[in-house]
Structures are given as structure tokens and as C-alpha cells.
Amino acid sequence: MSGEPRLRTGSRAEDLAAAHLEARGFHIVARNWRRPEGELDLVADDGGTCVFVEVRSRTGREFGDPLESVNRRKQTRVIRAARLYLQESTARTNSYRFDVVGVTFAADGSEPECVHVADAFRVE
């Protein structure tokens, strides 16, 4: 199947993003949270703040930086999924934010670059 390498790359990017965040003191609460109305790559706790993390990846830079792919449409989808998550969640939080982690895989197989942008976008 043509989608399998892409799915493996996405899964590997999520693993790297989770490890990157955990190394910085985040606690991963959920991974690949899905509902028919939307999905969240990672949900984390950062010192009591609920963090919804969108993970984007690229192999090489020829198609741009992975962070650039989180456009308004994608933000709207993540926000909608976050609202559903908060409605269903038993954990109560007064603060939340939306972070993005971009993972760039090098064509030469060297260590992937992982860039975390905290508070990358907001609900308007």
C-alpha cells in the first residue's frame, strides 16, 4: 500500500515528539485520540496545563518546514477535537494550549530534527 510508509513516518514522528516532550518534563496523557469528528496526535500535561500537540513531519526540506503545514484549516480541526476531548475528559483543567512539534527526517538517515513550538496557535 502506498500509504504505509507515510503512516510509519507519522508514527515514528509521534514517538519522537512524545520522547522530546517527556524529556522536557511533560507527561503524555493520550496518544492518537480519535473520534469521528476529529483526532489529536498527543495530549500532554505540562505542570497542570493541558497541552494539545499537533505533530507534523517531513522527509527532507524540499516540501518546506513541517511547522508550516499547520494552516488555519488544520488548526480549526485540532481545536474542534480538543473541545470534544475536554467534554469527554474526567480530568478538569482551567488552562490549555495548542503546541506543535515539527519533525524533519534527514535523507541521509542522520538524527531527525525535532522542533517544539509552545502556544503555537490559539482559539479565536
Q: In the chain, what are the domain boundaries?
A: 4-121
Predicted confidence at residue 94, as pLDDT, reads 79
Do β-strands 96-105 and 49-59 pair in parallel, antiparallel, or remain unpaired? Answer: parallel
The CA distance from 52 to 41, in Å, is 8
pLDDT given at position 82:
96
How far apart, in Å, are the Cα atoms of 113 and each of 29, 60, 122?
23, 10, 25
- Helix, strand, coil % in the chain, rounded to nearest 5: 35, 40, 30
DSSP 34-73: EETTEEEEEEEEETTEEEEEEEEEEESSTT--GGGG--HH
Chunked mean pLDDT (size 10), the chain, 124 residues: 60 96 98 94 96 92 84 96 92 88 89 95 88
Question: 51 with 45: CB under 8 angstroms?
Answer: yes
Q: Assign domain 4-121 one CATH number from 2.60.40.10, 3.40.1350.10, 1.10.3480.10, 3.10.450.50.
A: 3.40.1350.10
The residues that bridge with 28 in the sheet, in sequence order, are 44
Q: How far apart are CA 116 and CA 118, in angstroms?
A: 6
Bridge partners (DSSP) listed for residue 96: 50
The whole-number pLDDT of residue 5 equals: 57
Alpha-carbon distance of 5 to 10, in angstroms, equals: 9
pTM of the model: 0.90
